[in-house]
Amino acid sequence: MSDAYTTARARLARRKAAAPWILMLPALIIVLIFFGLPTAYMARMSFNLHEGAKLYTPGFTFDHYINLFSNEVFTTAIWTTVKLSLMASVVTVIIGYAFALLVWLKPARWRLLFVGLALCPLLISEIAIIFGWWMFFPKNGLLSFALMSSGLITDKISLMYTEFAAFVGLVYVTLPFCFFILLSILDGMDKRMLEAGADLGASPLVTFREVLLPLTRTGLLVAFSQSFIWTMGTYATPSALGPDTLWTMGFLIQEQMLGRSNWPLASALSMVLVVGVAVVITFTRSLSAKRTTLHV
């Protein structure tokens, strides 16, 4: 009897231990097949050789990684990409947060309009958006025309092919994602908390700092991560709007992969990109986890 009981308990314990894995299994299989295997293949490809006109030659070398960190073109591109992505992500999160707050605080009748506005960029391809900016930034573009017409400037100006144009383009592409993440976080909160803060004598600024910001911190970190991932990998927008010398990692990956047919070097660049993004995501997650622990 005792043995049977022990066996049954042991079986139950095993089942309990296995339950999360069984529940996770379908998702885990999908992640492994669609993300794990390609990443592993890419990692392996980055160590292959590249000879002549062949896409790659099976082998093992660290040359591509050495090249990445010794060639000024690549090191500059890595730094440029990180800098541009960080700046664009921070600004995107700030604008997205303000926009999401506005929508959250406005009466429901305004909500549909604002959400529709935020959806617009998602309904248009990145290439079409680029063409739009091409009509907006040049000296014969809408911006120059508007500034001239309003009397703010006397000569036509062109912001086309500047780092500013690339920056604006990146913010525009990632803003909707940021906005919807933050709006979903805000929607999960009770607006009466703001009233409670006011009732207790807190100014709007204090309520924001002590109530709203801590409660939306995780959302902010997720929005930042999402924006950072997106901007790190995007190459068409900065390439089409930025100056000639704005070489980002995404641009160099496509150049090596397609223009040069150097798959190993393109893979090595991609691995650096993946690792860089993973480090930032891990860092932001660790910040998020700390806060959750404090709350608990």
Residues at the contact surface with another protein, assessed by CB under 8 A? 52-55, 67, 71, 73, 131, 134, 138-141, 158, 160-161, 239-240, 243-245, 247, 255, 257-263
> What DSSP line would sit under 99-123, residue for residue?
HHHHHHHS-HHHHHHHHHHHHHHHH
Residue with tokens 């160590």: 47
Q: CB of 209 within 8 A of CB of 218?
A: no
Minimum CB distance to another protein smaller for 156 or for 291: 156
The C-alpha atoms of residue 289 and residue 287 are separated, in whole angstroms, by: 6
Residues in Cβ contact with 41 at an 8 Å cutoff, skipping those fewer than 6 apart: none
Give the nearer residue to another protein in terms of CB position, either 61 or 67: 67
Cβ distance to another protein smaller for residue 160 or 166: 160
For another protein, give the closer residue by CB, 158 or 288: 158
Measure Cα distances from 290 to 117, 212, 280 in Å: 35, 17, 16
Distance, first Cα to last Cα, the chain: 42
Rounded Cα distance between 77 and 74, Å, is: 5
Q: Which residues contact 107 (CB under 8 A, 6 or more apart)?
A: none
Query: What's the number of CA atoms in the CB half-sphere (13 Å) around residue 94?
Result: 6
Nearer to another protein, 57 or 184 (CB): 57
Q: How far is the CB of 256 from another protein (least distance, A)?
A: 9
Q: Are 230 and 178 in contact (CB under 8 A)?
A: no
Least spacing, CB of residue 138 vs another protein, in Å: 4
Cβ-based nearer residue to another protein, 221 or 253: 253
**Contact yes or no for 235/251 (Cβ under 8 A):** yes
Q: How far is the CB of 259 from another protein (least distance, A)?
A: 5
Radius of gyration of the chain (CA): 25
> CA 220, CA 215: separation in Å to the nearest integer?
10
Which residue, 52 or 107, is less far from another protein as judged by CB?
Answer: 52
